[in-house]
Amino acid sequence: MKCVLVMHSRQGQLPESSYELFTCAEQIGAEQVLVFIGPRAALPPFAGRVYLLDSEVWGEFNPGAHCQAIAEIVRSEQPQLVVLEHSSFGWDLAPRLAASLDAAQISEVVAISADGYEVPCCNAKLRRVLAPATPLCVITVQSGAFDAASPLVGAVAQISEVAPPPQGGKEKFVAYEEAEAASVDLGKAEVVVSAGRGMGKAENIELVARLAAALGGELGASRPVVDAGWVEHDRQVGTTGQCVSPAMYVACGISGAVQHLAGMKKSAFIVAINKDKDAPIGEVADVLAVADAVQLLPQVLEQLG
Amino acid sequence: MKILVCVKQIVDLEARLRVNDDGTWIDCSDLALRMNEYDEYAVEQAVRFKEQCGADQVDVTVLSIGAATVTETLKKALAMGCDRAVHINDDAAWRKDPAQIAAIIAAFAADKGFDLILAGMQSQDRGSAQVGALVAQRLDYGCVTTVIDCDLQPDKITVRRELEGGLKAVVEVKLPALLTCQLGLNTPRYPTLPNIMKAKRKELLSFDVEEFACPDPLVRTVALTPPPRKGSALIIEGGNDEVAAQLAKILVARRVA
Ligand SMILES: Cc1cc2nc3c(=O)[nH]c(=O)nc-3n(C[C@H](O)[C@H](O)[C@H](O)COP(=O)(O)OP(=O)(O)OC[C@H]3O[C@@H](n4cnc5c(N)ncnc54)[C@H](O)[C@@H]3O)c2cc1C
């Protein structure tokens, strides 16, 4: 078994989660070849062949050209597997690559077994086990599913630099836009009480805010609540918001999507209030109160005095 | 300007889900059905373009592949402001993989000259995040995924793509192009009663899926299983009074105030 790992730097930095791809390949016992999009300086230590698509020449976002070049590399390397992260880079490039190579694609892999690739579905309430029907398969791997491998200090790579095709893709990168600095640092709070879409409407957020105050904590929120304008963006928890690990995290009407869990699952103690006993938040929770949060919270507040 | 919006109907994921007889997907009978959330942003965006450019300047077709039930979702899109709906009738759509769904959409769209195709970035039930990009690849359209903001100009579109940790990328793409819509792109409107009535008179075309070339599946479903349960949570259930009392005790023990 041979696999091509595709890694991608952002603003010149390789995300730490990229090291999880090495672990994934090791678990399968596959020979590894690396395609690296980034500056030479950010290349992870690697013992093997590396194709370098230097971002100083190619740019970091150039999916049409990246796809052409990587498809070419895959055709010459003839691996059985191409592995990318399930990130804004990976889910964008993987289908383009799979289509160019007539290969199956399996997205958001969280585990690999003899039967196939396991992927979450239906809000992570179930898992599908999928197998490719083609000799080549492109997978994107959910971050956190595999432990990050420690860097192979001192490893010597054979690097070949790839020149960009004369004609680029149809998409043109203009600029990065930085996130606005958050005015509340949820990371410092000892208790975070978050509101999810299950709170139903903007007026009900008050209940969650009062609970946060009663517990000496800060108000947090899931993304849909922020998108709807019920809570300011500063308070969003998750991959596209803040990462928190307080002594206690209380999730009110939050289902527990991976992107939310990524921002709070390291909390020391997790309490969830959800009317659905099977909600995936139950997987990380220490306590799950099965109830309608809108009805329950006034009663809890009364008890807290 | 012609816009195509691709939508999927999904079941209410908060319901109790059971594996179907076939063992590869959920049993959808008796479950409430609704439009995939990410696709609602796509419909809303198309309708906003129509309002911005003038109703007679933009023509919006909404398409869905699935069993007869998907017409309800299409009617919602019409009530939100799309001009016409296309139902590609397929009772076995749930068996198809993203490459097959994309092939059917591309076969429909190939000779229609759409300037812009909008789709959700992923479905909430399967979350593959493949169909949009695969359609673009088949039609040789430019494609930007995970779009949270867009600005339509005469021959191009400038969008913001969401990356990790709050970082965004501004990207330009010439038309024809396909965009996949991410949470936060807009706030989808609720159809008003007059618009629901008006939608009843709009065109709803129906095709049999067999009319479109569809390749063999590239991915096989081996099984559908519950995720491994660590099951360490203390579950508090029962009457609200009881639950509130028990929960309050736990919270008090750990509060910092
Ligand atoms: C690229 C990407 C990035 C993302 N980044 C983030 C992020 O940073 N943060 C984030 O949170 N999400 C993020 N998301 C969205 C994420 O996938 C989920 O859609 C989101 O977390 C769901 O929020 P929710 O749990 O509040 O809502 P839902 O998933 O709709 O869940 C609502 C929950 O409330 C329960 N409920 C309903 N009514 C009640 C009631 N009356 N009482 C009690 N419980 C009730 C339901 O059973 C359900 O479990 C991202 C998604 C993508 C694709």
- Angle formed by the axes of helices B37-53 and B70-80, to 10°? 30
The 10s digit of each residue's pLDDT in B48-95 is 999 999 999 999 999 999 999 999 999 999 999 999 999 999 999 999
Name the DSSP letter for residue A157. Answer: -
**Was domain A2-161 assigned CATH 3.40.50.620?**
yes
The residue among A62, A119, A300 with the most chain B CBs within 10 A of its CB, best to mutate, is A300
Mean pLDDT within A30-35: 97
State chain B's mean pLDDT as an integer.
96
Q: Are A274 and A290 in contact (CB under 8 A)?
A: yes
Q: How far is B36 from chain A (nearest CA, A)?
A: 11
What are B184's two structure tokens?
């936060």
- Is A184's pLDDT higher than 90? no
Q: What is the pLDDT of residue B257?
A: 59
The 10s digit of each residue's pLDDT in B168-226 is 999 999 999 999 999 999 999 999 999 999 999 999 999 999 999 999 999 999 999 98
Report how far ligand 1's centroid is from the alpha carbon of A73 (Å): 39
Between A7 and A182, the higher pLDDT residue: A7
Q: Does B29 touch chain A (CB under 8 A)?
A: no
Q: What is the pLDDT of residue B119?
A: 98
Does the Cβ of A220 fall within 6 Å of ligand 1?
no
Q: What is the pLDDT of residue A166?
A: 86
- Is A199's pLDDT higher than 70? yes
Does the Cβ of A257 fall within 6 Å of ligand 1?
yes
Query: Residue A123 and residue B255: Cβ atoms within 8 Å?
Result: no
Any idea which architecture B2-211 has in CATH? Answer: 3-Layer(aba) Sandwich (3.40)
pTM of the model: 0.93
pLDDT confidence band for A183 (50 / 70 / 90): confident
Q: Which of B16, B122, B252 lies closest to A304 in CB terms? A: B252
Residue A172, beta-bridge partner list: B172
Q: What is the pLDDT of residue B20?
A: 94
Query: In chain B, which ranges are E strands?
Result: 2-6, 9-11, 33-35, 59-66, 84-89, 116-120, 142-152, 156-162, 168-174, 177-181, 203-208, 219-225, 234-236
Domain span(s) for CATH 3.40.50.620 in chain A = 2-161
Does the Cβ of A92 fall within 6 Å of ligand 1?
no
- Is B130's pLDDT higher than 70? yes
Mean pLDDT within A185-196: 94
Q: Are B204 and B74 in contact (CB under 8 A)?
A: yes
Domain span(s) for CATH 3.40.50.1220 in chain A = 186-304
Q: Does A227 touch chain B (CB under 8 A)?
A: yes
Least confident of A72-76, A96-100, B226-230: B226-230
Of B183, B192, B182, B179, the C-alpha closest to B151 is B179
Does residue B169 sit in helix, strand or coil?
strand
Is the predicted ipTM greater than 0.90, yes or no? Answer: yes
Of B196, B100, B182, B112, the C-alpha closest to B145 is B182
Q: What is the pLDDT of residue A244?
A: 95
DSSP secondary structure, A233-290, as one string: GGGBBSTTSB----SEEEEES----HHHHTTTTT-SSEEEEES-TT-THHHH-SEEEE
What are B257's two structure tokens?
């105030």
What CATH number should be reported for the domain whose range is A186-304?
3.40.50.1220
User: What are the phi and psi torsion angles at B60 (to 5°)?
Assistant: -110, 120
**Residue ID of nearest Cα to ligand 1 atom 53:** B182
Q: What is the pLDDT of residue B106?
A: 98
Q: What is the pLDDT of residue A180?
A: 78
Q: Are A104 and A134 in contact (CB under 8 A)?
A: yes
Query: Residue B124 and residue A290: Cβ atoms within 8 Å?
Result: no
Mean pLDDT within B121-125: 97
Does the Cβ of A233 fall within 6 Å of ligand 1?
no
Q: What is the pLDDT of residue A23?
A: 96
pLDDT confidence band for A141 (50 / 70 / 90): very high
Report how far ligand 1's centroid is from the alpha carbon of A1 (Å): 38
Q: What is the pLDDT of residue B47?
A: 98
Helices (H) and strands (E) in chain A — how many of each? Answer: 9, 16
Q: Does B213 touch chain A (CB under 8 A)?
A: no
Does the Cβ of A259 fall within 6 Å of ligand 1?
yes
For chains A and B, count residue pairs whose Cβ atoms are closer than 8 Å: 277
Q: What is the pLDDT of residue A215?
A: 95
Length of chain B as a residue count? 257
Query: Residue B171 and residue A173: Cβ atoms within 8 Å?
Result: yes
Edge to edge, what strands does the sheet with B219-225 contain?
A: A111-112, A117-121, A126-132, B219-225
- Is A151's pLDDT higher than 90? no
Q: Are B84 and B203 in contact (CB under 8 A)?
A: yes
Does the Cβ of A38 fall within 6 Å of ligand 1?
no
Taking contacts as CB-CB distances below 8 angstroms, the residues of chain A near B123 are none
Between B256 and B181, the higher pLDDT residue: B181
CA B240 vs CA A196, A273, B247: distances in Å = 20, 12, 10
Q: How far is B84 from chain A (nearest CA, A)?
A: 28
Q: Which of B133, B160, B177 lies closest to A96 in CB terms? A: B133
- Is B35's pLDDT higher than 90? yes
Q: What is the pLDDT of residue B178?
A: 98
- Is B246's pLDDT higher than 90? yes
Alpha carbons A186 and A174: distance in angstroms, whole number:
32
